[in-house]
Chains A and B, each alone.
Chain A
Amino acid sequence: MRAMQYFTATAAIGLCALLGAGLQASAEIKIGSVLAVTGPASFLGDPEKKTLEMYVDDINAKGGVNGQKLKLIVYDDAANPNSAKTFATRLVEEDKIDAMVGGSTTGATLAMMPVFEDAKIPFISLAGSIRIIQPVHKWVFKTPHTDKMACEKIFADLKHRNLTNVALISGTGGFGKSMNAQCHKVAGKAGIKILISETYGPRDSDMTAQLTKIRNTAGVQAVVNPGFGQGPAIVTRNYRQLGIKVPLYQSHGVCSKEFIKLAGAAAEGVRLPCAALLIADKLPNNDPQKPVVVDYSREYQKKTGQAVSTFGGHAYDGLMILVGAMKRAKSADKAKVRDEIEKTKGYIGTGGIVNMSPTDHLGLDLSAFHMLEIKGGDWTLVPGT
């Protein structure tokens, strides 16, 4: 009798498990994500996680995708590529996800790429580097602009003003280093000559020595500062302290009100390329991105009480591109979804208008950046860019 009871109990549990698994497969699409929610890159992972959660809830409330609900599984890698890889394996083997959105940092993304390539799972990364999509990997896509595009945008604006001889002063952090390398690479083609290239450490508190060297270099017509964090604010202050007169360009790394606040009056006249999201209210009404960015900023601010950042926007774009592809594929079949992501055309997102192709897994062009000038403590659009 006892044995019988035991048997029935086991059978019942087994049946439940089977049923559960069966139900899950038909009712839920599992989307995995590994983000740097805490740690040094939490400024990326935090808004990304909030954005994904917000919009997965929103999509589910509206009935899900193809009649199936979305289930989001987020792990926090604290910006450590090793744990990112472990979590990626877990998402594939244990959680059995259908698609992947995430990877806040370039390091984490590069570590996770082989896992998803092997498992043949579509992977949309939210990290910056061009190395993620060049060379093209079949299953890997990304949404953020690359630093190469930022260099090209700045150089195009310089050419427009007939300034061709520039100086670079770059941070030695990952962002500054990578953008510095890209600027060197595209300078020749853009017709720009880099006369001098200086650097500063991630926590340096005074850059007047480097800037003095730049000021004393004959022929410098403009200065470009690839960098992130507080460095560019200090460069900008020192720039005015030394009274350097040629134009100063900052990168998309400091496209936030924080920069204007930190640099204060010194920020006046600084130019920088930024995504549409930050200037949602300043875009002309006929801009196709305007409704998307205004909508996203409003929703994000309402739900989180925080100011919108481009990073959350990248997560929004990643999720929407994926959902769009699933809708067109009419299923969550991995291979079909991958093919449809690659066929994404004319998707209007927070980062720009995305047109992917088998050779371009990013799909943004220079129009995704707007050249801004800081005037009166606020952004203004530079006309004609």
Chain B
Amino acid sequence: MAELLQFVFSGLTVGAIYALVALGFTLIYNASDIINFAQGEFVMLGGMTTVFLSLAGVPLPLAALIAIVVTTAIGLALHRFAIAPARGASPVALIMITIGASIFLRGVAQIVFDKTFHSLPPLFSGGPIRFGGATILPQSLVVLASAAVIVVVLWLFVDRTMLGKAVIATAANRLAARLIGVDTRRIVDFSFAVSAAVGAIAGILITPITLTSYDAGTLLALKGFAAAMLGGIGSALGAVVGGLLIGMIEALSAGYLSSSYKDAVAFVIILVVLVAMPQGLFGRVKVERV
């Protein structure tokens, strides 16, 4: 029993990280139908900027705040200077631009920061929490709680505010949105900024567990993307459920089957789910009216 519980805790730890990364994909996708593959780099930038500012003597909370602001500005710049000028292009071309941006950001980070691994202290010091013979780190719970808070905030925003409705309108039909007076460019600007901020927050919170380096974003983004797809891309709740599911599957197959196949098992399950439910678990089915 303690064994199963430990696997579940391991799954929660990993899953919460995937969930937090996956959340960053949702808003940009909602506003512009773009899957932003530079999302992992936002996560990396959040972590690395905080690390280097605190090494330079800036107090940690302030360093984290500056890191979020800097990353948000970079997200905004990504849209203004790379995505917006190409807005006539197909989503596939735009997605390729984000891949290019991710390679660029990684290269710059390698020069501005360095090539070694870094860590941050956890939010709450103190040892692991013991429960029923298994242990979990307090920071894992912090990550989990933050994912929940972000989901609620995003849901409130999209469902209860005018700006949120404008985001949905922009995604649904950009021309129609413009006709009813939505400044669509500002809306997409805004979605990139918020996604970058969410990414930076994720980076700061997960670094005490995962550690970080200039190239940390790539694989995190891959797992986060898988989580977002599984949950139904565009759905914040789906991102979290998808992340937790993948984490749980990985931990349980590492524990009960073999750690060599844990990634394979996770991806097979994702494939099966997506074949059965192409929109993901919580995705909206798109109806095109002609």
Q: Mark A residues whose CB is within 8 Å of B.
A: 40, 42-43, 46, 172, 198-210, 212-213, 216, 229-230, 233-234, 241-243, 258, 261-262, 264
A264 to B206, CA, bound (A): 17
A234 to B209, CA, bound (A): 8
A200 to B220, CA, bound (A): 15
- Residues of B within 8 Å of A, CB-based: how many? 37
A205 to B210, CA, bound (A): 5
- Let me know if B211 is at the binding interface, CB within 8 A: yes
Find A212's partner among B7, B13, B17, B118 (CB 8 Å cutoff).
B7
Q: List 14 A-B contacts (CB under 8 A).
A: A198-B259, A199-B259, A200-B259, A205-B14, A207-B10, A208-B135, A209-B7, A209-B252, A212-B255, A229-B117, A234-B209, A242-B6, A258-B117, A264-B119
List, in ascending order, chain A residues with CB within 8 A of B90's CB.
none
A203 to B262, CA, bound (A): 13
Contact between B3 and A233 (Cβ–Cβ < 8 Å)? no
Contact between A230 and B135 (Cβ–Cβ < 8 Å)? no
List, in ascending order, chain A residues with CB within 8 A of B116's CB.
43, 258
Within 8 A of A (CB), among B1-27: 3, 6-7, 9-11, 13-14, 17
A207 to B210, CA, bound (A): 11
A42 to B118, CA, bound (A): 17
Q: Give 14 new A-B contacts, CB below 8 A, not counting A40-B215, A203-B210, A234-B209.
A: A46-B115, A203-B219, A205-B17, A206-B209, A207-B10, A208-B6, A209-B6, A209-B7, A210-B254, A213-B254, A213-B259, A230-B213, A241-B128, A262-B211
Contact between A243 and B117 (Cβ–Cβ < 8 Å)? no
Contact between B117 and A208 (Cβ–Cβ < 8 Å)? no
Find A209's partner among B110, B118, B216, B259 (CB 8 Å cutoff).
B259
Contact between A209 and B10 (Cβ–Cβ < 8 Å)? yes
Q: How far is the CB of B161 from chain A (nearest CB, A)?
A: 34
Closest-by-CB residue of A relative to B5 is: A212
- Let me know if B251 is at the binding interface, CB within 8 A: yes
Shortest 9 CB-CB contacts between residues of A and residues of B: A205-B210, A203-B219, A209-B254, A230-B211, A209-B10, A208-B10, A209-B255, A209-B251, A206-B13
A208 to B210, CA, bound (A): 13
Contact between A210 and B215 (Cβ–Cβ < 8 Å)? no
List, in ascending order, chain B residues with CB within 8 A of A198's CB.
254, 259
Given contacts A206-B14, A210-B259, A262-B117, is CB(A234)–CB(B135) below 8 Å?
no
- Let me know if B33 is at the binding interface, CB within 8 A: no
Q: How far is the CB of B6 from chain A (nearest CB, A)?
A: 5
Contact between B6 and A206 (Cβ–Cβ < 8 Å)? no
Q: How far is the CB of B17 from chain A (nearest CB, A)?
A: 6
List, in ascending order, chain A residues with CB within 8 A of B17's CB.
205
Q: How far is the CB of A197 from chain B (nearest CB, A)?
A: 9
Find A43's partner among B13, B115, B209, B250 (CB 8 Å cutoff).
B115
Contact between B220 and A233 (Cβ–Cβ < 8 Å)? no
Contact between B220 and A203 (Cβ–Cβ < 8 Å)? yes
Contact between A206 and B220 (Cβ–Cβ < 8 Å)? no
Q: How far is the CB of B37 from chain A (nearest CB, A)?
A: 16
Contact between B3 and A208 (Cβ–Cβ < 8 Å)? no
List, in ascending order, chain B residues with CB within 8 A of A207's CB.
10
Within 8 A of A (CB), among B82-141: 110, 115-119, 127-128, 135, 137
In the complex, how many residue pairs between chain A and chain B have their CB atoms under 8 Å apart?
86
A241 to B113, CA, bound (A): 30
Contact between A234 and B211 (Cβ–Cβ < 8 Å)? yes
List, in ascending order, chain A residues with CB within 8 A of B260's CB.
172, 199
List, in ascending order, chain B residues with CB within 8 A of A205's CB.
13-14, 17, 206, 209-210
A234 to B127, CA, bound (A): 15
Within 8 A of A (CB), among B127-178: 127-128, 135, 137
Q: How far is the CB of B237 from chain A (nearest CB, A)?
A: 23
Closest-by-CB residue of B relative to A172 is: B260
List, in ascending order, chain A residues with CB within 8 A of B13's CB.
205-206, 208
Q: How far is the CB of A360 from chain B (nearest CB, A)?
A: 33
List, in ascending order, chain B residues with CB within 8 A of A201's CB.
219, 262-263
Closest-by-CB residue of A relative to B4 is: A212
A382 to B110, CA, bound (A): 36
Closest-by-CB residue of B relative to A231 is: B211
Q: How far is the CB of B213 from chain A (nearest CB, A)?
A: 7
A204 to B263, CA, bound (A): 10
Which of B115, B127, B220: most chain A Cβ within 10 A? B115
Contact between B216 and A203 (Cβ–Cβ < 8 Å)? yes
Closest-by-CB residue of A relative to B129 is: A241
Closest-by-CB residue of A relative to B218 is: A203
Please encode chain B, from 245 to 272, with 1 for each CB lying within 8 Å of some chain A CB and 0 for all others.
0000011101100011011000000000
Contact between A212 and B6 (Cβ–Cβ < 8 Å)? yes
List, in ascending order, chain A residues with CB within 8 A of B216's CB.
203
A72 to B11, CA, bound (A): 52
List, in ascending order, chain A residues with CB within 8 A of B9's CB.
208
A156 to B210, CA, bound (A): 33
A378 to B262, CA, bound (A): 35
Contact between A233 and B117 (Cβ–Cβ < 8 Å)? yes
A262 to B216, CA, bound (A): 15
List, in ascending order, chain A residues with CB within 8 A of B11's CB.
209
A243 to B137, CA, bound (A): 13
List, in ascending order, chain A residues with CB within 8 A of B128's CB.
241
Within 8 A of A (CB), among B195-235: 206, 209-211, 213, 215-216, 219-220
Closest-by-CB residue of B relative to A259 is: B117
List, in ascending order, chain A residues with CB within 8 A of B117's CB.
229-230, 233, 258, 262
Q: How far is the CB of B227 from chain A (nearest CB, A)?
A: 14
List, in ascending order, chain A residues with CB within 8 A of B213's CB.
230
A296 to B137, CA, bound (A): 42
A264 to B251, CA, bound (A): 25
List, in ascending order, chain A residues with CB within 8 A of B259's CB.
198-200, 209-210, 213
Contact between A233 and B135 (Cβ–Cβ < 8 Å)? no
A204 to B251, CA, bound (A): 11
List, in ascending order, chain A residues with CB within 8 A of B7's CB.
209, 212
